[in-house]
């Protein structure tokens, strides 16, 4: 929790004023039993209605002033808590955005969502309640004990015995429940992960009639979460009855002691009532403190989980030393590059070694799981190379600032993702200040004019995740988004898989006409998509099985032959 308190630095005024006003409210509340004692000892025996009325007005004034202080304190506490959670959530989101794909994969999407929402909300509630009650409750408890001593030392000794016993119960339960609340939040992660998976894959689940199985899986995880919550809830629930037993036992002792003191003339009836009222105040405050401890336990568990995300940092990437170039430097060079994902036993890519000239079109083909997407994900630095070096114009890409590197690239991922908004706003992801002319040019290159005009032009609405578009329409718009940037390197990661052969052929012809010597990487399962590339890389189980043109590979590479002839009859030719 200490690591997160830095996000309260802009709320210093609120952090001071909220407890201060609560402290003032508590002080006024401590005077109430004395006023009541005065009414009992002086006003009622003498029948002095004027004194009773004056003391009644005094009680009303104490109540109004206390209420005003309480509202003011709650205002400042709420303001500090909301500001804290806002800054924390923004910082957490920014930190997650800066993590590389390796760390995001390791943490898990469902966990990150839970910690940005439920855990931050728990921290907000914890800050709010601490500012409101953490000082008030101890002040009332110890203040009531001190006030009791001013009335009668012998009776006040009961407070000295009761308060430590209550403290042991409250803080003992807090120590026990804190680790249990962490387990509860972890169980919430699991439930959220299952829910997210089911909602995302609902069509597949229904297509294979697996609703019953998924419902059972969800119920099992939900039952585990409920069991964990009930277990910690039972322990937390012990706090109130235990504190009630001790406090009510203390009240009985006070009544007994007070009765004896009244009989011998050491105390008045009003004094006994005042002491009992002080014990009742302690009871009320300890109930509040007990609830506060439960809430703080949850908040601290959540704070530890949020802090754990801040502790995840990208590994320091050390670029190779600048080397003196000899001869002509290739535009892009893979120098014996290998990749091993975190937690994976074997290398995903092994000893990738090739060069690419500016303006070349590079086709990448291979079987499922051969490492095609892994290869192109290295270019923008989504995943770091485990060994070897990737150089862009002779410079290690690790030495190029991330924003500068990605600014030079247009990336069309394997899964076409669009965002809720207009077509224009989605295309502006590629270039923020793109003109309508530039957008329409990219749309035409991506063979998406028909799609855009069908939606009413650039201001046509796109639903969340592009749900109001077909798979092929989404793919064409994501290609247009990348082309708006007019990148130096265009990466198409199997991004035309949903297109029909005619549209695919038109797209390839349009890409060949790109200006500015754009270097294009095309990942595809279709031989026809990459057969006209300047260079084709054939991958097999993470290794380069062949490298060359279509004709060269068809003559010498068995893996390429197998792929090609599985799609076209032997002796036939693929259409452009």
* Rounded Cα gap, residues 483 and 445, in angstroms: 8
**Closest to 22 in 3D by CA, of 139, 147, 141, 143:** 139
Residue ranges matching CATH 3.40.50.300 in the chain: 332-567
pLDDT of residue 576: 46
Can you read off the two tokens belonging to residue 129?
């309640």
**Closest to 538 in 3D by CA, of 529, 530, 526, 546:** 546
Which residues, 6+ apart, have CB-to-CB distance to 532 below 8 Å? 361, 508, 512, 550, 576
Residue ranges matching CATH 1.20.1560.10 in the chain: 11-311
- 145-155 b/e (C-beta count within 10 Å ≥ 16 → b): bebbeebbeeb
DSSP annotation string for 304-325: HHHHHHHH--PPPP-PPPP---
Domain 332-567 annotated CATH 3.40.50.300:
yes
* Rounded Cα gap, residues 412 and 482, in angstroms: 6
- Is 0.85 topped by the overall pTM? no
Helix (H) or strand (E) holding 354: strand 349-356
Residue pLDDT tens, the chain, 576 long: 677 888 888 888 888 899 889 888 888 888 888 888 888 877 777 777 888 888 889 889 988 998 899 899 999 999 999 999 999 999 999 998 888 888 887 777 778 888 888 889 989 998 998 888 877 877 887 888 888 788 878 777 887 888 788 778 877 887 888 788 778 877 877 887 788 788 878 888 888 888 888 888 889 989 988 998 898 888 888 877 887 888 788 888 888 887 887 777 777 888 888 888 887 787 777 777 777 877 887 788 888 888 888 988 877 666 656 555 555 788 999 999 999 887 766 888 999 999 999 888 999 998 888 889 899 999 988 888 888 999 998 888 988 888 888 888 999 988 888 889 999 999 998 888 889 999 999 999 899 999 899 888 899 899 888 888 888 889 899 999 999 988 899 999 888 777 888 888 888 888 887 766 789 999 988 888 888 888 999 999 889 999 999 999 998 899 999 988 888 776 555 544
**Closest to 399 in 3D by CA, of 320, 314, 507:** 320
Task: Report yes or no: 371 and 341 within 8 Å, Cβ to Cβ.
Answer: no
* Rounded Cα gap, residues 392 and 415, in angstroms: 26
DSSP annotation string for 19-56: HHHHHHHHHHHHTHHHHHHHIIIIIHHHT-HHHHHHHH
Can you read off the two tokens belonging to residue 47?
């029948």
Task: Report yes or no: 76 and 132 within 8 Å, Cβ to Cβ.
Answer: no
In this structure, what DSSP letter does residue 134 have?
Answer: T
Q: Which CATH architecture has domain 11-311?
A: Up-down Bundle (1.20)
């Amino acid at each position: 929790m200490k690591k997160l308190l830095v996000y309260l630095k802009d709320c210093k005024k609120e952090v001071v004023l909220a407890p201060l006003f609560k402290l003032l409210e508590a002080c006024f509340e401590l005077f109430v039993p004395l006023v009541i004692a005065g009414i009992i000892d002086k006003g009622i025996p003498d029948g002095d209605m004027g004194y009773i009325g004056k003391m009644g007005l005094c009680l009303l004034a104490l109540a109004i002033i206390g209420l005003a202080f309480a509202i003011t304190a709650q205002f400042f506490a709420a303001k500090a808590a909301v500001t804290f959670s806002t800054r924390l959530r923004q910082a957490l989101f920014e930190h997650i955005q800066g993590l590389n794909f390796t760390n995001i994969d390791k943490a898990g999407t469902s966990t990150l969502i839970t910690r940005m929402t439920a855990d931050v909300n728990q921290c907000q509630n914890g800050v709010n309640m601490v500012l409101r009650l953490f000082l008030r409750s101890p002040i009332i408890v110890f203040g009531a004990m001190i006030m009791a001593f001013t009335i009668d030392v012998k009776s006040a000794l009961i407070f000295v015995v009761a308060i430590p016993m209550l403290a042991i119960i409250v803080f003992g339960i807090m120590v026990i429940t804190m680790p249990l609340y962490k387990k509860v939040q972890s169980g919430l992660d699991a439930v959220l992960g299952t829910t997210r998976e089911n909602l995302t894959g609902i069509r597949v689940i229904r297509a294979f009639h697996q609703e019953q199985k998924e419902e059972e899986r969800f119920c099992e995880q939900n039952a585990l979460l409920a069991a964990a919550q009930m277990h910690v809830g039972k322990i937390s629930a012990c706090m109130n009855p235990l504190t009630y037993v001790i406090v009510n036992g203390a009240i009985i002792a006070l009544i007994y002691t007070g009765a004896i003191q009244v009989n011998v003339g050491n105390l008045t009836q009003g004094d006994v009532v005042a002491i009992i009222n002080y014990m009742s105040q302690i009871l009320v405050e300890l109930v509040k403190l007990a609830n506060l401890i439960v809430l703080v336990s949850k908040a601290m568990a959540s704070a530890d989980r949020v802090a754990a995300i801040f502790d995840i940092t990208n590994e320091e990437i050390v670029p190779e030393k600048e080397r003196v170039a000899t001869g002509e430097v290739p535009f892009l060079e893979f120098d014996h590059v290998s990749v091993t994902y975190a937690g994976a036993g074997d290398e995903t890519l092994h000893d990738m070694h090739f060069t690419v000239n500016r303006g070349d079109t590079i086709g990448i083909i291979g079987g499922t799981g051969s490492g095609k997407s892994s290869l192109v994900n290295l270019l923008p630095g989504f995943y770091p190379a485990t060994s070897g070096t990737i150089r862009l114009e002779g410079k290690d890409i690790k030495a190029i600032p991330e924003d500068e590197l990605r600014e030079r690239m247009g990336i069309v991922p394997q899964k076409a993702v669009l965002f809720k908004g207009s077509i224009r706003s989605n295309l502006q992801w590629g270039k923020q200040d793109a003109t309508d002319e530039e957008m329409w040019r990219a749309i035409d290159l991506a063979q998406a004019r028909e799609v855009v005009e069908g939606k009413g032009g650039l201001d046509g609405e796109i639903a969340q995740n592009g749900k109001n578009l077909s798979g092929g329409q989404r793919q064409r718009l994501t290609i247009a988004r990348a082309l708006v940037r007019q990148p130096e390197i265009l990466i198409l990661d199997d991004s035309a898989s949903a297109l029909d052969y005619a549209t695919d052929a038109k797209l390839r012809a349009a890409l060949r006409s790109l200006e500015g010597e754009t270097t294009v990487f095309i990942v595809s399962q279709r031989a026809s998509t990459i057969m006209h590339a300047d260079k084709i890389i054939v991958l097999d189980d993470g290794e380069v099985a062949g490298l060359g043109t279509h004709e060269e590979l068809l003559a010498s590479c068995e893996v390429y032959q197998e792929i090609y002839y599985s799609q076209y009859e032997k002796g036939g030719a693929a259409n452009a």
